[in-house]
Structure 1
Amino acid sequence: MTVRLRSGASMVTKLGGFTLPVMLSAAIGVVTVPMLLASLGADAWGQVYLAQAAGQIAGVLVSFGWGVTGAAMIAGTSVSKRRAMLFQSLRIRLALFATIAPFVVLGLLLLTRGDIVISVLGGLTYLVPWLGASWYFIGEGSPLRLLVFDTIPNVLGTVIGVILAALTGNTALFLIFQAIGYLAGAIGGTAIALRGQPRAEWDTSGVKHWRRTLVDQRSSVITSATTTLYTNVPLLAVQLFVRELQPVFALAHMMYKYSIVVFTPIQQYFQSWVPQDNKLLQSRARFAAISATSIAVMGGALLAILGPALAQLLAPDAVVPLSFSLTLPFGVAVAAVAANSVIGLACLVAFRKIDAIARATVLGAAVGVPSAIVAAAFQSLAAVAWTFAAAEVLVFILYVTTLSRTLTHERSVSDTNSL
């Protein structure tokens, strides 16, 4: 009984620790939206949000899968080998950043029709966070280090940028100080993570070592790339085909993103908890999947029902109000995405089913991307949102099926070994 109480108290403490950084970031994000809308205008804010989406898509290639599966991999790796994994990933991510950044800037120049400020500053700013060590802190179960060395620098940069934007109406100042905050978090967090682990001997200089690491990460990259693709393509498609309605769709998309952010502490806790004990892996995975799905459904329902009222508070002067026809499909998407984040990135990664995760997300993208483009071409925002929701529900079904089969197989193996 005492052991269970201690275990429960530890869970609550760690979950609370992970909640603080996420809630702080989410609160700042929500508060800054009306301020930026008021100081920069709806069109400029929509372009900043577009740069964020472009950075998220390209950031998948920069992070090269570590941001998706890295936390669970760190949790399941011995302490002596964690520092080597982080150091090797940093070298690769820096090389990828230098390669990909120019293409992001060029792409934004085309999408924004020559807006230099958004394209250059926005493109670079929203790539920087992918160089950080947040996934490492999550994997080692260190919410305090995540807060102090990653979240707080990011938040301070954003706050200063928003204040300057409110005073001057200057988009460039906002982006510059956000970039400074992201750089401080990425550099400081990585330095602390590398210094705080026991030194180990490893060889990361050889081409063969780099090639082997890249090959090992291929399924993680596919998962991250395809998920980000069909998450952000709807917004980009609306920008191309229904430009005049992009701000209202961006608002709905932003509310979806922050709903996922609210769920993030639960995902982070399970990513650091499920893989820690191989003897309890099956029961922990089952508990995590059921708990996460239940909470995710409730969260999606709240967004669908309360979304229009919340949008009115965030953007009271919006020309086109956000309606239930948009918040309903985004609510369905929230439920599926939140559940997928635990079932896939905590449970299936713990069982080393990364290839199965990649296959599921590729199928989701195959459904979501072309259908979103077609729906946008027909200028139906609700249809675009439903294509995104359908893709996520498909991924959820595939994840659940894979996890169920995995648990059945593991149980059969355990029963055989016990005979």
Structure 2
Amino acid sequence: MALHPLVRRIGGFAAVPFVGAITPLLLLPVIARVTSVEGWAAVALGQSVGAVAMIVVTFGWNLSGPSRTAQADDDGRRALYREALASRLAAFVVVLPVEAVVAAFLAPEGFRTVAVLMALAVSATGLSPAWYAIGSGQARTLLIYDALPRVAAAVVGAPLLVLGAPLVTYPILLLAASLGTTAVHARKTLGPPSVPGARRAMRTVADRATLRILVPDAASEIASGSYSAGAVALVGLGTGVRELAVFAAGDRLFRLSLYAISSLCNALQGWVAEPVDRATSRHRFRTSLTLHSTVGVVGALLIVGAGPWASGVVFGADLAVDLPTAAGFAVAFLMISLETSVGRHYLIPRGYRRTYLAAVTSAVVVGVPALVGFAHLAGAPGGAWAVAAAEGTICLVVLAAAITVARRALELEPAR
């Protein structure tokens, strides 16, 4: 019996995040066991700083890029990709020295080089064509040019670390894989690089109409990243190395669990944004919200039930999280799943980018001080519940905005 097209679409995009999710499980337990607590903390801090920098590098294309790609023809898609590559390369050059200084400042003594290289490697993944593959419905491209490079770096790096290679081996491999695959995909999609083509792309990016789209999207992504991707770094400002290491272990498993949400979001984002009649659009959003709600509840229960055990198995007993920490991450998971559907599948496709920016900005106001303050008061559990408070803030704001938008649309509809 033939599978429903939506089921095939979700299955194809779910496979890619699954590959990305299991990759750290090949490597992070090795890192946790071949180095000291300080070394593990340096890797985690580098990943956290790099993740924030990566969001700057993406320059908002992950937010509305898939929707814009889904609505464009082949020529329009190539033009979008050319603009995106130009803007993201410029952002990467600008952010590189900043993230290096921040990672070196936060890292434990003796592990600064590891933290800096880890930050650079993670930020380079922001050049990935993942958003383009999502918008054009190309799960295979997402696998080849986004997930497999990370798998290759982990598969090669893990045995080398076990055999005694220095800790910097893994970030160097990841950096090379990210830059290499980005270059290959760009050449395949756009042809050989040319100076006139690059100049045209930069002029388009600098155009005022383009900036009106990109700047709010980039601001939204950067704002949310300042507390979510940067959570480990912020907790490090409020607590000691031991509590930071435990929080980092829990946060790493939590971030891995978010692949379930991102895979569903990726599968549905282009589908929901396709130009269809109003009734079909509503049906597709309701489907999105139902699926995301189910994933959110099931995932939250799994985090509470299996989180302490799983963290002990993966990272060792010294880095196992307790139940209060797991519960905080569980609530955050549910909130993220709900706001992902409402924000990315309802507000963004309808042009409410500034509303979404307001939502994530409000979460920054809550999340940044909470991560430092709660961690200072309660260690790892405090950090987890600070993440839940920030994500809950986003969820409440986008739900309120979506209800307002829906009511306004109903009022404008002609009477039947």
Shift in Å, 1:45: 2.2
Aligned to 1:223: 220
Q: In 2, Cα distance between the equivalents of 1:362 and 1:69?
A: 17
Aligned to 1:243: 241
| 1:292-337 deviation line (CA, Å, top 9, x unaligned) | 1222121112111210111121123x32531101000100001111
Contact 1:235 1:249 in 2 (8 A): yes
Which runs of 5 or more structure 1 residues have no equivalent in the other structure?
A: none
2:142 to 139, 142, 146: 146
Shift in Å, 1:57: 0.8
Contact 2:44 2:232 in 1 (8 A): no
Q: In 2, Cα distance between the equivalents of 1:153 and 1:376?
A: 34
Aligned to 1:117: 113
Q: In 2, Cα distance between the equivalents of 1:208 and 1:180?
A: 27
1:188 to 148, 162, 184: 184
1:178 matches 2:174: yes
Q: 1:64 to 1:396 in 2, by over 3 A?
A: same
Q: 1:98 to 1:209 in 2, by over 3 A?
A: closer
Aligned to 1:393: 392
Aligned to 1:90: 85
Aligned to 1:267: 265
Shift in Å, 1:395: 1.1
One-letter amino acid of the structure 2 residue matched with residue 267 of structure 1: C
Shift in Å, 1:387: 1.8
One-letter amino acid of the structure 2 residue matched with residue 51 of structure 1: G
Aligned to 2:305: 305
Contact 1:72 1:345 in 2 (8 A): no
Aligned to 1:60: 55
Q: Please show how residues 201-216 of structure 1 align to structure 2 within 5 Å.
A: 203-206=200-203, 209-216=206-213
One-letter amino acid of the structure 1 residue matched with residue 98 of structure 2: F
Shift in Å, 1:379: 4.5
One-letter amino acid of the structure 1 residue matched with residue 395 of structure 2: F
Q: In 1, Cα distance between the equivalents of 2:347 and 2:414?
A: 21
Shift in Å, 1:206: 3.1
1:39 matches 2:34: yes
| 1:5-49 deviation line (CA, Å, top 9, x unaligned) | 97x621111111111111111112123221221223433122112
2:275 to 271, 274, 277: 277
Aligned to 2:194: none
Contact 2:23 2:150 in 1 (8 A): no
Q: In 1, Cα distance between the equivalents of 2:307 and 2:202?
A: 51
Question: Percent of counterpart pairs with the same letter?
Answer: 21
Contact 2:66 2:134 in 1 (8 A): yes
Q: In 1, Cα distance between the equivalents of 2:391 and 2:148?
A: 31
Aligned to 1:18: 13
Q: In 2, Cα distance between the equivalents of 1:53 and 1:13?
A: 34
Return 209-218 or 269-278, whichever deviates more: 209-218
Q: In 1, Cα distance between the equivalents of 2:99 and 2:236?
A: 16
Instruction: Give the root-mean-square deviation of aligned CA atoms.
Output: 2.4
Q: 1:273 to 1:343 in 2, by over 3 A?
A: same
Contact 1:296 1:339 in 2 (8 A): yes
Shift in Å, 1:287: 2.2
Aligned to 1:130: 126
One-letter amino acid of the structure 2 residue matched with residue 328 of structure 1: A
Contact 1:14 1:269 in 2 (8 A): yes
1:77 matches 2:75: no
Normalised by the length of structure 2, the TM-score is: 0.91
